[in-house]
Amino acid sequence: MHAFDFLDKALTGEPGPIYALAGDDSFLKRECLLRIKSWVVADQDPSLALSVFDRPETPFAEVRDELDMAPFSGGKRLVILENADPFISSHRSLVEGMVNKPSRVGVLLITAKTIASNTNLYKLLNKKEMIIDCKAPKPVTVPGWCVRWMKSAYGRTLPMDTAEYLVESAGPELGLLNQELSKLAASIPSGTTLSIETVRPLINRSRVDQIWGIFSLMSKGQVGRAITMLHEILDQENEPYKCLGAFSFQFRKLAKLARLLTGGISQDQAMQSAGILPFVRNEAMAQLKSLGGSRIRKILTWLIEADRGLKGGSALPERTQLERLILKLASTPATSPTPAPAGGLRR
**Average pLDDT for 339-343:** 38
pLDDT of 325 > 60? The answer is yes
Q: What is the pLDDT of residue 339?
A: 39
**Average pLDDT for 197-213:** 78
Domains and CATH numbers, the chain: 3-133 (3.40.50.300), 139-202 (1.10.8), 206-329 (1.20.272.10)
Q: What is the pLDDT of residue 181?
A: 94
pTM passes above 0.85: no
What band does 333 get if pLDDT is binned at 50, 70 and 90? very low
Q: What is the pLDDT of residue 165?
A: 85
Secondary structure of the chain in HEC code, one letter for each residue = CEHHHHHHCCCCCCCCCEEEEECCCHHHHHHHHHHHHHHHHCCCCHHHHEEEECCCCCCHHHHHHHHCCCCCCCCCEEEEECCCHHHHHHCHHHHHHHHHCCCCCEEEEEEECCCCCCCHHHHHHHHCCCEEECCCCCHHHHHHHHHHHHHHHHCCCCCHHHHHHHHHHHCCCHHHHHHHHHHHHHHCCCCCCCCHHHHHHHCCCHHHHHHHHHHHHHHCCCHHHHHHHHHHHHHHHCCHHHHHHHHHHHHHHHHHHHHHHHCCCCHHHHHHHHCCCHHHHHHHHHHHHHHHHHHHCCHHHHHHHHHHHHHHHCCCCHHHHHHHHHHHHCCCCCCCCCCCCCCCCCC
Q: What is the pLDDT of residue 336?
A: 37
What band does 205 get if pLDDT is binned at 50, 70 and 90? low
pLDDT of 110 > 80? The answer is yes
**Average pLDDT for 250-273:** 87
pLDDT digits (tens, 9 = 90+) for 299-323: 889 989 999 999 889 999 999 999 9
pLDDT of 212 > 80? The answer is no
pLDDT of 344 > 70? The answer is no
